[in-house]
């Protein structure tokens, strides 16, 4: 097994374990998102063909949509936090909120789906 697949498997199993912890503590949204992404990463590890990439891409889009929806609900809380901070937005307000990571995940999912249909994955290029 290549080193990239080993790292992907370790990340997938770690996310699945972290999802189990979040289910136990009652943080269900983050548990479901980590469960979806962890399952997608583990799927990539065990599938030898392009379908692992395509399945992961679809799962990443689903997780991204969930995060965007949660981020939209957090907008009033972010506005109050910015207002309490003298109307200054810090990088933490952007990078720590699910709206950013939702759009990031949707973009990554689309990229994974396109990569699943790429000639480099299907080995269709001519040398």
pLDDT above 80 for 122: no
pLDDT tens for 16-39 read 999 999 999 988 888 999 999 999
pLDDT tens for 47-69 read 877 888 888 999 999 999 999 99
Minimal CA–CA distance to 23: which of 9, 38, 8? 38
Chain length of the chain: 127
Q: What would the mean pLDDT of 69-78 be, rounded to a whole number?
A: 88
Structure tokens at 119: 């000639």
What is the structure's pLDDT at 83? 86
Yes or no: say if 55 and 43 are a contact pair by the CB < 8 Å rule.
yes
Please tell me the least confidently modeled range out of 19-23, 55-59, 77-81, 104-108.
Answer: 77-81
pLDDT above 60 for 40: yes
Minimal CA–CA distance to 33: which of 63, 12, 72, 13? 63
pTM of the model: 0.80
pLDDT above 80 for 127: no
pLDDT above 80 for 120: no
């Amino acid at each position: 097994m290549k080193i990239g697949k080993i790292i992907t498997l370790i990340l997938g199993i770690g996310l699945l374990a972290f999802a189990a912890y979040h289910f136990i503590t009652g943080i269900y949204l983050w548990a479901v998102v980590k469960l979806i992404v962890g399952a997608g990463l583990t799927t990539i590890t065990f599938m030898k063909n392009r379908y692992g990439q395509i399945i992961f891409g679809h799962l990443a889009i689903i997780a991204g949509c969930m995060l965007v929806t949660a981020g939209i609900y957090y907008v009033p809380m972010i506005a109050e936090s910015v207002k309490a901070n003298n109307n200054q937005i810090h990088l933490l307000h952007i990078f720590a909120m699910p709206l950013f990571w939702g759009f990031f995940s949707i973009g990554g999912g689309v990229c994974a789906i396109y990569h699943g249909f790429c000639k480099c994955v299907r080995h269709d290029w001519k040398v």
